[in-house]
Structures are given as structure tokens and as C-alpha cells.
Structure 1
């Protein structure tokens, strides 16, 4: 993937709205990475004695839990790519805006900073 630096970029309101959507997806992904394990641990241990907790540990589907945790990052990345591609469909983009959104779509480090 080629990451061309974009200098003197001017973002319009549609660009800023798309960036808000991307940042919201990133924030939600990070929150899910915390809440999902916390929910599993709470369902196992909260309000249960040791026998119930042991049963809950044994009956928890750890494979599904692990797959769910692994899916968070790709879901966020898919959302970012979708937003970037929708922006690239806009006909009124400047060449700098177009390069910026290509960088976002390609996952270039620092493009969102």
C-alpha cells in the first residue's frame, strides 16, 4: 500500500462528518473490547458462590468469546474502509481530498491524526 503524504489539505463539512463517523467506530470498538470481557466476567462471578462460578466457567463458550474478541478490530476496519470508499465516490473532491481518502482506505498510519 502506498501512503502519499497530503500537505495543505482542506477538509469540507462532508469530510469532517465522515471523520466523526470513523472516530465513533474506533471509540465504539475500543469500548467493546473492554465491555465484552467485563460482561463475561460479571456473568460468571457476580452474585454467585464458588460452585456456581465454577459451573459458569465450565459452561462459558470460550471459543465463541475469543472469536468475538478477534472480530472487533476487523469490524472497525471494515467500517473505516466503507466510509472512505463512500467519500471517494463524491465527484467534487479535490485531488488532495481524494488522496487523503485513499490513504484512509489503505490504512495508512497517521492519516487520521
Structure 2
């Protein structure tokens, strides 16, 4: 992705709040990517004997687990896109602010 350079950009408090919401969505997605497998592994192994572990491994829906894991980042990306789109609709934004939020919506900024 070719991200534009935006000179003269000044972000206001609403922009800062939106950026914090984006950071929160990213943190939550990252946390979910850690906690979901940890929860599955805990359910399988914690406090179980080998027969129970074998049953738990066999009965775990690994396809659903993989599908769940693969959906986390697209949900985070969609959340970021929605935040950026809403920011672009705000009244009174400068051209630079609109360009910034358009770039965020297009995936610039590491989001």
C-alpha cells in the first residue's frame, strides 16, 4: 500500500479519541489472539488425566477454532475502517484531516 505523506496535519481532540479507539480495538484483537488459544489449551489439559486429555483433543472442533482465529484481524480491520469513515463525516475537518482518515481507512498507519 502506498501511503501518502500529509503535511500540515493537526489532529484535534476528537481525532485523538478516535485514534485511541483504534488502539483499543487493536489491543483487544491482540489479546483475543492470545486468550482464545490459551482457553482452548486450558480446557484440554488443565487438571485432566491422559484419558480425558485424549478425549478433549479428539472432541475439540479444530476447524471452528481455526476459523475463529482467522476472523479476529478482519473484525479489527473492519472496526478501524468504520471509525475512520465516521471521522471523515465530521463537519469542520480540514483537508489534511480528511486525507488522514481516508488513508487510515485504506490501511495506512499500520492498521
Report how far residue 9 of structure 1 moved. Answer: 1.2
**Which residue of the partner structure matches residue 48 of structure 1?**
48
**Which residue of the partner structure matches residue 13 of structure 2?**
13
Report how far residue 88 of structure 1 moved. Answer: 0.5
Alignment of 1:52-91 (within 5 A): 52-91=52-91
TM-score of the aligned structures, taking structure 1 as reference length = 0.94
Q: More deviation in 2-11 or 19-28?
A: 2-11
1:64-102 CA-to-partner distances (Å, cap 9, x unmatched) read 000000000000000000000000101211000000000
2:94 is the counterpart of 1:98: no
Distance 1:61 1:97 in 2: 45
TM-score of the aligned structures, taking structure 2 as reference length = 0.95
Report how far residue 40 of structure 1 moved. Answer: 0.1
Q: More deviation in 6-15 or 98-107?
A: 6-15
Segments of structure 2 that go 5 or more residues without pairing to the other structure are none
Secondary structure at the aligned position of 1:104 is classed as helix
Report runs of 4+ in structure 1 exceeding 6 Å deviation.
Answer: none
